[in-house]
Structure 1
Amino acid sequence: MDAQHSTVFQPVIRPAGLCGVLVSFGDGLTEPANRAALAYAAAVERAGIAGIEECAPSLVSVFIRFDPLAVPLDVIIGQLSTLLAQQDWHAAALPEGRRFIRVPTVFGGTLAPQLDEAAMVAGRTVQEARQDLSEARLRVQTIGFAPGQPYLGLLPAPWNLPRQTNLTQAVPEGALVVALRQLVLFSVSNPTGWRHVGQTALKLFRPDSTEPFFLRPGDEVQFVPVGPEVLDHVRSDPNGGADIQVIR
């Protein structure tokens, strides 16, 4: 379905406000559409187009902010269109410099109390749920909602869970939550409508660092199951005991 979707959807360029352009590669989240957004955003950055001040990929689109006093909208759209026509972005290689990060994670129990409920909604046993979520190697599709907070996917089809009807008042920093075939790892404590299934010690938002966001779009993450005692041991490590490898 994803491959078929990539051949049917034609990328669209739209103005977004007075100083923005939105380039969309899908009308719904698929692996090829997210791949296209990441690859195209990296290409825009490399191109160094005059007047562009910001380039930010989202799940299936890229937002480009430009200086309308320096470059007219039609010129920016023309240059972006030329770049867009150079290749099939749905089949493009992902950006260089990505990393594979294995994060120690406690699944279920008092630290992640909604694993059992999420498993039931997904039609999986708790053991199957823990296996699904810990064996998946997921891409950081975008960063959003809170500083440095990643959306990771895509999970297998049974995990296309709806959000909860009630709001959880707060989950802690490092909480792993699930819905809509995605996992979200919380960078700060926040309310959520997604189910809390895992807990990590990873600090994603580091405001005093030269790179305040630990994860970047395109990175790949796997959540490795550990016991609570292991998590306690790695809490003093900003990386939460994660193993980090550069993807060659």
Structure 2
Amino acid sequence: MTHASAPTAAPAPEILPLGLDGVLVRFALRFEARANRAARALSAALEAAPLPGQVECVSALASVLVRFDRMTTTRVAIEAALSERLNDIQSAPHRPDRIWHIPASFGGENGPQLVQVAQIAGLGEGALVDQLCATPLDVLAIGFAPGQPYLGLLPENWEMPRLSALTPEVPAGAIVTAIRQIVLFANASPTGWRWLGRCAFRPFQLRADNPVPLRAGDGVRFTPVDHSALTAIEATGDPMGGARLERT
């Protein structure tokens, strides 16, 4: 008679000193969905109810940085308060409160590596775009550049490594992929990820009242449009790029 193995317990998060006024809560040494959910849950809890002396809270893919005011609190007090807060957070999957629907064009000059991505994923180009647009993506973290989102997770056939050499530049709005994630580029930049599409939505809008419209935990859904439709959206000059915000 065989017995099913008990589920593996998540490792306890580490609370680590970082610089003179920082504490890092690390949920894993590498990206995994459970660790990302826990990091987002802790960050949301700290933003909703900051710790005494907390001045900044920033979530990454599997960790959270908390900076504190050394004139009003101590590292020991912050670490103790974080330990208590960690007992209360819920890292279970949740339905996003906000879902962004973003028009995007794929392939050709808007995504010259789409063919390569489709070959690696074992799909035709059209089927690959359909799969991407049908997949509910969450903003896992924002980083590398102001407002720039990491989105995921894609199905397992999107588990593909970064390129062995950099693409010299992709434009603002480029949609690129690696390791079951999507990055939507805020600015023109070199990248080692594969470029498969482009949108007119700008995740960093310097002159807007809210320069960073996306936030960790938001949902993102891409809506496929052809090149001419994308060109027409860009011609409006609207940095929202035709995006529609759905509140659930």
Q: Same fold (TM over 0.5)?
A: yes
Pairing partner for 2:22 from 20, 23, 26? 20
Cα distance in 2 for partners of 1:130, 1:46 equals 37
1:166 Cα deviation after fit: 1.1
Aligned-partner residue type, residue 40 of structure 2: L
Cα distance in 2 for partners of 1:47, 1:102 equals 30
Cα distance in 2 for partners of 1:43, 1:79 equals 12
Normalised by the length of structure 2, the TM-score is: 0.91
1:1-248 equivalences in 2 (<5 Å): 4=7, 7-87=9-89, 89-91=90-92, 98-235=97-234, 236=236, 237-247=238-248
**Per the alignment, do residues 22 and 15 of structure 1 end up closer, same or farther by CA in structure 2, a change over 3 Å counting?**
same
Aligned-partner residue type, residue 137 of structure 2: L
Aligned residues: 241
Gaps of 5+ in 1: none
Aligned-partner residue type, residue 244 of structure 2: D
Gaps of 5+ in 2: 1-6
* Partner SS, residue 35 of structure 2: helix
Aligned-partner residue type, residue 245 of structure 2: I
Aligned-partner residue type, residue 212 of structure 2: F
1:92 Cα deviation after fit: 7.0
Aligned-partner residue type, residue 219 of structure 1: D
Aligned to 2:3: none
Cα distance in 2 for partners of 1:198, 1:27 equals 30
* Partner SS, residue 91 of structure 1: coil
Cα distance in 2 for partners of 1:130, 1:41 equals 32
1:220 Cα deviation after fit: 0.5
Cα distance in 1 for partners of 2:134, 2:55 equals 39
* Partner SS, residue 207 of structure 2: coil
Cα distance in 2 for partners of 1:141, 1:59 equals 6
Cα distance in 2 for partners of 1:182, 1:101 equals 17
Maintained 8 Å contact 1:39/1:93: no
Maintained 8 Å contact 1:104/1:224: yes
**Per the alignment, do residues 92 and 14 of structure 1 end up closer, same or farther by CA in structure 2, a change over 3 Å counting?**
farther
Cα distance in 2 for partners of 1:104, 1:183 equals 15
Normalised by the length of structure 1, the TM-score is: 0.91
Cα distance in 2 for partners of 1:92, 1:243 equals 23
1:28 Cα deviation after fit: 2.7
Identify the range of structure 1 (203-212 vs 76-85) with the bigger mean alpha-carbon deviation. Answer: 203-212
Two-structure CA RMSD over aligned residues (Å): 1.8
Cα distance in 1 for partners of 2:49, 2:225 equals 43
Identify the range of structure 1 (55-64 vs 230-239) with the bigger mean alpha-carbon deviation. Answer: 230-239
* Partner SS, residue 36 of structure 1: helix
1:93 Cα deviation after fit: 5.2
Residues 17-71 of structure 1, C-alpha deviation per residue, up to 9 Å, x if partnerless? 2111111223332222212111111111222322111001111111001122321
1:122 Cα deviation after fit: 2.2
* Partner SS, residue 42 of structure 1: helix
Instruction: Show structure 1 runs of 4+ deviating over 3 A.
Output: none
* Partner SS, residue 23 of structure 1: strand
Cα distance in 1 for partners of 2:240, 2:38 equals 29
Cα distance in 1 for partners of 2:209, 2:242 equals 21
Residues 177-231 of structure 1, C-alpha deviation per residue, up to 9 Å, x if partnerless? 0001000000110000001101101121111122111211111111111101111
* Partner SS, residue 82 of structure 2: helix
Aligned-partner residue type, residue 148 of structure 2: Q
Cα distance in 2 for partners of 1:82, 1:45 equals 16
Cα distance in 1 for partners of 2:178, 2:94 equals 27
Cα distance in 2 for partners of 1:93, 1:220 equals 11
